[in-house]
Amino acid sequence: MVTSIAEWDKEMQDKTRGPLIITYAKKTHNDDLLKFLSLMKAKKYDKSTYDLYIKEGASKEVNIDSTLRSKFDPNNLAGGPWAAVTTEILKLYTENVSKKAK
């Protein structure tokens, strides 16, 4: 299981595995997971990321527990539980993309 952004990045940078993952993610409509993880790698803990992926009803809303989602304060996004969300998304990525991409 991929448990960190560094592990995810290494997998994505692999010249054989990376393209397989991207193709599979697009085919299964899971490419938003890759985009979100890219933002987390870049530490984009801002309103744009929140509005697109975290906010309830967001156009690319990630699948996280509502309790975790409620811990975000739109007035202090830098202090939000981004690490916990990233951990949840890495689990989804592992189960729905990484293990299945061949």
Cβ atoms of 52 and 59 within 8 Å: the answer is yes
- Output the pTM of the full model: 0.94
58: left (phi over 0), alpha (psi -120 to 50) or beta: beta
Q: Evaluate if residue 1 carries a pLDDT over 90.
A: no
Instruction: Determine the pLDDT at residue 102.
Output: 87
| CATH number of the domain that residue 62 is part of | 1.10.167.10
Q: What is the pLDDT of residues 32-90, one digit of tens each?
A: 999 999 999 999 999 999 999 999 999 999 999 999 999 999 999 999 999 999 999 99
Cα–Cα distance for residue pair 43/3, rounded to 1 Å: 17
> Which residues form the domain of 39?
5-98
pLDDT band at 8 (very low <50, low <70, confident <90, very high): very high
Q: How many domains is the chain partitioned into structurally?
A: 1
